[in-house]
Amino acid sequence: MKISDSSEPTLAGKQIVLGVTGSIAAYKAVALLRTLLREGAVVRVVMTQSATKFVTPLTFEVLSGHPVSTDVFEAHQEMKHLSLPAQADAIVIAPATANCLAKAALGLGDDLLSTMLLSAECPLIVAPAMDGGMWMHPSVREHVRTLCARGTIVVNPEIGPLASGQVGQGRLAEEGAILEAIQAALAPQRDWQGQRMLVSAGPTQEPIDPVRFISNRSSGKMGYAIAEAAQARGAQVVLVTGPTALPAPRGVEIVSVATAEEMLKALFARLAWSTTVIMAAAVADFRPTHPASQKIKKQGRNAQTLDLERTTDILASLSAQRTTQLMVGFAAETNDLIAHAKDKLKAKGLDLIVANDVTMEGAGFGSDQNAAVLIDRQGGMTELSLMSKRALADAILNRAHALLHTRQSNQAPKPANMGRG
């Protein structure tokens, strides 16, 4: 992976604390340190005692030009557990062991690095590295989900040969991937500046009677993550959301709806305003034909039949009425993921579809993580492994922005021929 295409340092003057924990991959932190320095960052290194068994503190001290902190008791003389995070623009832990992730998730502070995290208010980026099947252990997965939910940026380990000789997911991510995560946290892109995005999220609720309704398992987390990421990257965002328990993303206009019909009307009312539509909501396909005006009583009934009717296909309807908007849809599937997604992409006339397998462990409805395959109408396909929904949101926006840029370039008027007569 290419580190930078620009001669200008991307992290000039940024104060970064680099945490190094006791993994065989600790030696790779030396290369990461050099990269951060080359990008203009001021880096102070904090090592756990276990990390010093793999790489000496002197190595980091010579390269960084600053003393390396390793002992919580010595550091307390200068209150470094408070001063280092207070001065930092970001804390990066690479490699982060399973033990480090557990302490960070549970709020344990038994060394300088873990104690620092309890007072840090800056972005935290962790790049895990571990052997065997540790990365997929339920406890590790739970700790990662907890950290992601708090806003920690997790740069997932890669699949490949491990120190034990096994092949699996556990290798420290490439230094370029870690750098990109740091750059995104400290210097957010504004590539959606001037664009107007209409996003839908959450489930719909179709009433059976005043008490009961038909709905689905959607939490709204993916749509909210997209709205949040788009706003951070400069877009004006309207989020039309079904019922969720999520806080409103900052700077985003919220339109709350309950039923599919209400969502349809809210989206159509804002279609002409938008330049991009991302339909992440899980809209009910059917609704009761005749909702009861009073609560349906169970007395005297051994069974109850509900007559259902189709709801309007919102995404297909929006796509049919659009002018120049980029249209992005989702395909939440349980089998034949790619085939079903391609069929939906074509049937609804979309520019891009995000296909995800809701049966995948650790992904899908209610989870803080997701994996997806992005498929565009030209046949391009990008597979994205399990990551936080916010990271996936940025990946979706990256692909959508590229498609939008291509479309707008093709629609731009050609310069007049100024050749000689």
Q: What span, in angstroms and rounded, lies between the C-alpha atoms of 40 and 10?
A: 7
Residue ranges of domains in the chain? 15-186, 196-288+307-409
Pick from 35-39, 286-290, 410-414: least confident = 410-414
Strand partners, 47: 20
216 is catalytic: yes
Residue 3 has pLDDT above 80, yes or no: no
User: HSE on the CB side for 140, CA within 13 Å?
Assistant: 20
Pick from 47-56, 235-244, 299-308: least confident = 299-308
pLDDT in tens, 176-200: 889 988 988 886 678 999 999 999 9
**Per-residue confidence at 236, pLDDT binned at 50, 70, 90?**
very high
CATH for the stretch 15-186: 3.40.50.1950
Output the CA–CA distances (angstroms, integers) from residue 395 to 155, 275, 296, 403, in the order listed: 13, 19, 46, 13
pLDDT in tens, 83-138: 888 889 999 999 999 999 999 999 999 999 999 999 998 999 999 999 878 999 99
Residue 417 has pLDDT above 80, yes or no: no
Residue 162 has pLDDT above 90, yes or no: no
pTM of the model: 0.63
Residue 369 has pLDDT above 90, yes or no: no
Residues 334/360, Cβ–Cβ less than 8 Å: no
Q: How much is the pLDDT for 80?
A: 81
Q: What span, in angstroms and rounded, lies between the C-alpha atoms of 395 and 161?
A: 26
Q: How much is the pLDDT for 418?
A: 46
Q: Which of 99, 156, 216, 417 is catalytic?
A: 216
CATH for the stretch 196-288+307-409: 3.40.50.10300
Output the CA–CA distances (angstroms, integers) from residue 218 to 323, 364, 366, in the order listed: 29, 8, 7
Mean pLDDT over residues 206-220, rounded?
A: 94
Residue 11 has pLDDT above 60, yes or no: yes
Q: What span, in angstroms and rounded, lies between the C-alpha atoms of 157 and 143?
A: 15
Q: What span, in angstroms and rounded, lies between the C-alpha atoms of 171 and 162?
A: 6
Residue 163 is classified by DSSP as T
- Identical topology for domains 15-186 and 196-288+307-409: yes
**Cβ neighbours for 157, distance < 8 A, ≥ 6 positions apart:** 127, 128, 129, 130, 135, 169, 170, 171, 172, 173
Which tokens sit at 141? 């997965």
* Angle between helix 314-321 and 260-271 (nearest 10): 20
Amino acid in the structure at residue 23: S
Terminal CA-CA length for the chain: 50
